[in-house]
Amino acid sequence: MRRATLKGWRYAMDNPEEIIDVILTKYQVDKTREHLEFEATEIRKLIVPELIQIGHMNPDRWQHMRDTFIKANLIDDGRYFDGFIYDTSTTKIPYWVFPTLSFAFVIVLITTLIIIYLQRFNRKLAENKQTLQESEARFKALSEATYGGLMIHDQGRILECNYGLSEITGFDYSELIGMNGLELILPEDLEIVLQNMRDDYTHSYEVTGVRKDGSTYALAIKGKNIVYKGRNARVVEFVDITNKKQIEDKLKLAASVFTHAREGIMITDPNGNIIDVNDTFCHITGYSRDESLGQNPRFLNSGRHSQAFFKAMWASLIEDKQWSGEIWNKRKSGELYVGLITISAVTDKQEKTKNYVALFSDITRMKQHQQQLERIAHYDTLTNLPNRVMLADRLKRAMTQSVRRQQFLAVAYLDLDGFKMVNDTYGHNMGDQLLIELSKYMSDSLREGDTIARIGGDEFIVLLVDLDSMDDCERVLDRLLQAATRPVTSGSITAQVSTSIGVTLFPQDDVSADQLIRHADQAMYIAKQTGKNHYHFFDIHQDKSIQSQHVIIEHIQQGLEQGEFFLHYQPKVNMRTGEVVGVEALIRWQHPERGLLLPSDFLPMIENHPISLVVGDWVIATALSQMATWQKLGLVMPVSVNVDAFQLQQEDFIAKLSIALAHHPKIKPSLLELEILETSALGDIMKVMATMEACIGLGVNFALDDFGTGFSSLTYLKRLPAHLLKIDQSFVRDMLVDIEDRSIVMGVISLAKAFNRQVIAEGVETIAHGSQLLAMGCELAQGYGIAMPMHADKLPTWLAQWQPDPAWDHV
């Protein structure tokens, strides 16, 4: 089988065309005849070697060929080729020559290659070194010339930087090298920087930088990954953009202000042509931006200003580079408006005007409101007559003209008689209607140039000017009296009043404008007291005392109604034991014009007048009310109240006192002490004694307030049931330097002891006063040296802090 197979292969090698026909006929192949012929030829070359010329051939090759042919069954195993082998032993080069030559050749070749490589390496190294040096030099030059800072870092660690980075950050160059560059970034922005490093972000972005001193600044960063000295690195550019950001912010702010300003803004070129306006300008004027651009501001001209006005405005702009004022302009609709405008010139470095900027507000409504306020400020809202403010201005001007023209003027003060009854009977609406109608009637009765003003309620002041004689004045006054009595009808109601007029003349009464009005007011009260519905001329000599009292009475009445009066309380103490034995209630008046008034400033002017009774009743009621308040706080404090002779001798005094005590049932009457003033003015001593006994029956105590000043003090001491004597302060104050006063004080103390009365000294102003009184046997005292009169709220604090002077312990 093997032999047959080999023969088959040998036949195939010798007849390839036949074998190809069999393959193409019996088998489906994708190859063409030409391809199969090519393969057969190539296979045959491999299997059947071509004969070669026998010559010098390696014996091993001959042996290899023999073995191949035997395996291919082409020759027998016993066949040898020794005869074909050429004997080269005689000419053969010794075996060691070729290895030696080969080794030498290899050595030479390797050496040559090494030399060539080293030369090229050194040349390349030199070139690279030069290139690197040039690159570093270029980097240095570029980095130093760069606006801002440059640094090269590896994962944040700074490898190289320029001095610009040092200037920006505040770190020295030596401090920056090796430093973690991320420390130059605000921690809140580090994630942005790290992300851009990871992404090799090469565009500029903004973060917040941190300087060496801890301050922050706006920073623009731009980086790029590079290879630096054989290692991966990143070059980063630092630019301090703080100023740029500030400028941008200012520009944005300016743009925002321009766009959204509540004021209209107009910008012109040097010739006055409009180059820009904001939305408010368009809203105020009614013109759109497109309609306004290129126009001269004259297109808004209202025609209400003269050429001289604009000439002065431009003169100010040229000289001062600014002008401010009010200008009436005209809207697109034709409506006029007033603008409060400021125009400023914008100049270059050479002071040459480049633009004009006008900033204005529409103040039309404000002007209208201002006019309304001015009218309200100068005119009475009910009657539309001038008010006190306008009257004062006209009066001052009239006084000046009167002197210059050598004429006199009259100030007439009018008060309607019976107006309060009309108001109370028919209501305020009828009262207002009466005032309105009478204002018209009285205005019509005046001459041209005269003024009538309503100064409040039913009071008016008339200013009569340019008077040549008293007849001129009296004729107008008579017309005013007639006008004021005209009946006024409203619906089914008819009311009629009259007026009392007080008149003063200038310059006969040569005083200020305010004093003229006060004098006319005083004369008006006399007119009322003497029958009403007539006028009375002020006489400075006859009316001064009468009117002063009348004015003070009127003001006191108003003060009581408006709560201007209040009580202060001055402690009374035992100087030896320190015990506070009570307080004295002292009236004070917070006058709206004169300030705080003491009793001596107003009580003498109402002596024996019915208003003094009202004041006295108020003091008792207020003192009892305060005692009740203190008692609720746990403070039981005796209070003494001054009562003058006029009040004590009133028939209803006991009844009023009983009612006052009944209003405060929790207050023990014995805590209330009545100090009788002006004992020398007491009339019927028996009647006074009866009144005092009745009051004592109610539980009230009495003291004689000014003991020692009256000629009948001994009589009073003997007969009046007062348990306490008060030494008048006029004696106590000077007793340290006046022997007679000291003798009187000593005498009063002795009398008090003789009549079994307690004694208290007022006017103790110093420690020495107290020591002297203690030495004389008087332990009770009050005065500034112990405590000033104080508000009721302050008394508890004073009580907690009060201590008698240690010097008194040794007396």
Q: What is the CATH number of the domain that holds 704?
A: 3.20.20.450
609 and 749 belong to one structural domain:
yes
CA–CA dist 654, 618 (Å, integer): 15
State residue 633 phi and psi, 5-degree precision. -90, 0
pLDDT at 19: 77
72 close to 46: Cβ distance less than 8 angstroms: no
Bridge partners (DSSP) of residue 566 are 588
- Identify the three-state secondary structure at position 500: strand
Residue 675 CB burial class (10 angstroms; 0-12, 13-18, ≥19): buried
Residue type, 168: I
Expressed as residue numbers, the domain containing 437 is 379-538
Least Cα distance to 58 among 24, 90, 87, 78 occurs for: 87
| pLDDT for the residue numbered 549 | 73
Residue 599 located in a structural domain: yes
Tokens 């009202």 belong to: 614
- For the record, the structure tokens of 670 come out as 């014995």
CB atoms within 10 A of CB 764: 26
Considering the domain architecture, whether residues 284 and 399 belong to the same structural domain is answered as no
Q: Three-state SS for 53? A: coil
Helices marked H in 445-565: 470-484, 513-529, 540-561
Q: For residue 82, is it within any domain?
A: no
Domain boundary among 368, 395, 418: 368
Q: Is 448 helix (H, G, I), strand (E, B) or coil?
A: coil
Nearest to 504 by CA among 531, 544, 532: 544
Query: Is the previous residue joined to 507 through a cis bond, with omega within 30 degrees of 0?
Result: yes
Give the number of other Cβ atoms within 10 Å of residue 652's Cβ. 10
424 and 478 in a single domain? The answer is yes
Does residue 729 sit in the same domain as residue 626? yes
Query: Do residues 724 and 703 lie in contact, with contact meaning Cβ atoms separated by under 8 Å?
Result: yes
Low-confidence residues in the chain, pLDDT < 70: 1-10, 13, 27-29, 42-59, 61-62, 69, 71-98, 128-147, 540-547, 678-683, 708-715
Distance CA 65, CA 71 (A): 10
Please check whether residues 611 and 503 belong to one and the same domain: no
Q: Domain for residue 2, yes or no? A: no
Asked if 232 and 265 sit in the same domain, the reply is no
Residue 228 lies in a domain: yes
Same domain, 691 and 802: yes
The residue whose two tokens read 């208003």 is 611
Q: How far is CA 43 from CA 14, 48, 333, in A?
A: 12, 8, 112
Domain containing residue 273: CATH number: 3.30.450.20
Q: Residue 241: which of 258, 218, 223 has the closest Cα?
A: 218
- Same domain membership, residue 710 and residue 729: yes
Could you report the per-residue pLDDT of 293-315, keeping only the tens digit for each?
999 999 999 999 999 999 999 99
Query: What's the number of domains the chain is made of?
Result: 4
Residue 103 lies in a domain: no
**Residue 711 pLDDT:** 41
pTM of this prediction?
A: 0.40
Residue 614: what pLDDT? 94
Give me the DSSP letters along 224-281: EEEEETTEEEEEEEEEE-HHHHHHHHHHHHHHHHHHH-SSEEEEE-TTS-EEEE-HHH
The predicted-structure confidence for 481-508, as pLDDT tens digits, reads as follows 999 999 999 888 999 999 999 999 999 8
**Is 618 among the domain residues?**
yes
* Exposure class string for 300-309: b at 16+ Cβ within 10 A, else e: beeeeeeeee
Farthest CA pair distance, the chain: 197
Quick one: 623 and 697 in the same domain? yes
Nearest to 219 by CA among 194, 199, 245, 195: 245
- Rounded to a whole number of angstroms, the CA Rg of the chain reads 63
pLDDT given at position 377: 79
147 closest CA partner among 227, 222, 228: 222
Dist. CA 231–CA 219, nearest whole Å: 27
Query: Side by side, which strands form the sheet with 459-467?
Result: 451-456, 459-467, 408-417, 498-506, 535-537
Length of the chain: 811
Burial category of 573 from C-beta neighbours within 10 Å (exposed 0-12, middle 13-18, buried 19 and up):
buried
* Boundary (domain end) residue, out of 245, 273, 305: 245
Asked if residue 4 is part of any domain, the answer here is no
508 and 416, same domain (yes or no)? yes
Pairing relationship of beta strands 451-456 and 459-467 according to DSSP bridges: antiparallel
The pLDDT score that the predictor gives to residue 584 is 97
Amino acid code (one letter) for 273: N
Whether 720 is covered by a domain: the verdict is yes
Domain ends where: 538, 572, 594? 538
> What own/partner pairs with CB < 8 Å and gap ≥ 24 does 288-293 have?
291/332, 292/266
What letters, b where the CB count within 10 A reaches 16 and e where it falls short, cover 722-737?
Answer: bebbbbbbebbbebee
Answer yes or no: are the C-beta atoms of 149 and 164 closer than 8 Å.
yes
pLDDT value for 709: 60
**Domain shared by 393 and 357, yes or no:** no
Is 464 in contact with 450 (CB distance < 8 Å)?
A: yes
Task: Identify the pLDDT of residue 91.
Answer: 54
Q: How far apart are CA 264 and CA 277, in angstroms?
A: 8
Same domain, 232 and 363: no
How far apart are alpha carbons 499 and 462 in whole angstroms? 13
Burial class (CB in 10 A: 0-12, 13-18, 19+), 373: exposed
